[in-house]
């Protein structure tokens, strides 16, 4: 029997975490938004406020909906406050050691029947579940970015995830107005297993001089009818995130076709991570993005 979820904790107030908090509050769930500092939470709340205002301006939701949603979100720096949660979703950086540390510190504060989910895009759900005291109540709920706009959510069971947890998570996704697709617990799951190698190949195409940034993105937008070119998309995702997913695919599947392009590694080493640092395959410091190669 599925567990009733009423209060949701979100760990990480960055782009993904704030987006998850946004859609949960709008769907009527009480939300506790947690991060390491007041500054991070404040930035996350500001992002939620701006995105919800945008929905009001486009007549997607009413002003009353906006007000009610914002009132349902409460900030917290303490895991102890998450003791009232029915479900806690971890949306921290895509680093396994960081996530494992979060789960180790989180579990003592939770009720025994509380569920834990991770928003990881590539790390083994079974392995992360083993870092908790409740692997049977642990599941992957991978939202797409930007969360409010994207319809799909990948649902990934670990080996130990029980049926009740799976059914509860599936019902929860439905209550958010999202569509769930079920993926097996293999590196990258479905979306990133297909999407990131395409982006990596686009970077190789640039690295080998086959085409410029502008030529590659134009080719895929107009030649494959993609809404956004692969290099533009990489900047949007974050080149550090792209690299970590490619490394997870390469190490987890032991196939040379997933080797991260050296140019991607160089950009990350330079701190050119895309939109969030104002430079990546495009330079975003001016009025219009300009290709960097």
* Spatial distance between the Cα atoms of 115 and 117, rounded to a whole number of angstroms: 7
User: Which two tokens mark 9?
Assistant: 């904790």
DSSP character string of 16-43? HHHHHHHHHHHTT-EEEEE-SSHHHHHH
Query: What is the mean predicted confidence (pLDDT) over 116-126?
Result: 95
Query: What is the mean predicted confidence (pLDDT) over 66-86?
Result: 98
> Three-state SS across 216-274?
HHHHHHHHCCCCCCHHHHHHHHCHHHHHHHHHHHHHHHCCHHHCCCHHHHHHHHCCCCE
**What CA dihedral angle connects 269, 89, 150 and 192, to 10 degrees?**
50
Domains in the chain, CATH or no CATH each? 7-183 (3.40.50.720), 192-291 (1.10.1040.10)
pTM comes to 0.92
Rg of the Cα atoms in the chain: 19
pLDDT > 70: what percent of the chain?
99
Query: What is the mean predicted confidence (pLDDT) over 42-55?
Result: 97
* Spatial distance between the Cα atoms of 112 and 218, rounded to a whole number of angstroms: 52
pLDDT at 105: 97
Whether the pLDDT of residue 230 is over 70: the answer is yes
Whether the pLDDT of residue 1 is over 90: the answer is no
User: Which two tokens mark 152?
Assistant: 């799909």
CA 200 to chain centre: 19
Query: What is the mean predicted confidence (pLDDT) over 239-256?
Result: 94
Whether the pLDDT of residue 268 is over 80: the answer is yes
Query: What is the mean predicted confidence (pLDDT) over 214-236?
Result: 98
Whether the pLDDT of residue 3 is over 80: the answer is no
**Any idea how long the chain is?**
293
Query: What is the mean predicted confidence (pLDDT) over 103-129?
Result: 96
H/E segment holding residue 163: helix 163-175
Look at the alpha carbons of 107, 108, 110, 112 in this order and tell me if their dihedral is positive or negative: positive
Average pLDDT, the chain: 96
Query: What is the mean predicted confidence (pLDDT) over 106-123?
Result: 96
User: Which two tokens mark 106?
Assistant: 């989180």
pLDDT > 90: what percent of the chain?
97
Q: Which of 94, 92, 148 is nearest to 116 (CA)?
A: 92
């Amino acid at each position: 029997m599925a567990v009733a979820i009423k209060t949701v904790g979100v760990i990480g107030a960055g782009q993904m975490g704030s987006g998850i908090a946004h859609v949960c509050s709008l769907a009527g769930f009480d939300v506790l938004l947690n991060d390491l500092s007041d500054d991070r939470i404040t930035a996350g709340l500001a992002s939620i406020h701006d995105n919800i205002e945008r929905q009001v301006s486009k007549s997607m939701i009413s002003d009353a909906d906006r007000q009610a949603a914002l009132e349902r979100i409460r900030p917290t720096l303490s895991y102890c406050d998450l003791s009232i949660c029915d479900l806690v979703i971890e949306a921290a950086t895509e680093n396994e050691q960081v996530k494992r540390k979060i789960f180790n510190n989180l579990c003592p504060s939770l009720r025994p029947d509380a569920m834990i989910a991770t928003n990881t895009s590539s790390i083994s759900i079974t392995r992360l579940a083993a870092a908790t005291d409740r692997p049977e109540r642990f599941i992957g709920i991978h939202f797409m970015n930007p969360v409010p706009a994207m319809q799909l959510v990948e649902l990934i069971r670990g080996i130990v995830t029980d049926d009740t947890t799976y059914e509860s998570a599936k019902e929860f996704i439905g209550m958010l107005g999202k569509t769930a697709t079920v993926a097996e617990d293999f590196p990258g799951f479905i979306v990133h297993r297909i999407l990131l190698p395409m982006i990596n190949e686009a970077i190789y195409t640039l690295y080998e001089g086959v085409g410029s940034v502008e030529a590659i993105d134009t080719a895929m937008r107009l030649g494959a009818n993609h809404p956004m070119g692969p290099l533009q998309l990489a900047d949007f995702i974050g080149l550090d995130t792209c690299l970590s997913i490619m490394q997870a695919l390469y190490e987890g599947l032991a196939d040379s076709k997933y080797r991260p392009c050296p140019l991607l590694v160089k950009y990350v080493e330079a701190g050119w991570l895309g939109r969030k640092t104002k430079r990546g395959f495009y330079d975003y410091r001016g009025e219009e993005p300009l290709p960097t190669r």
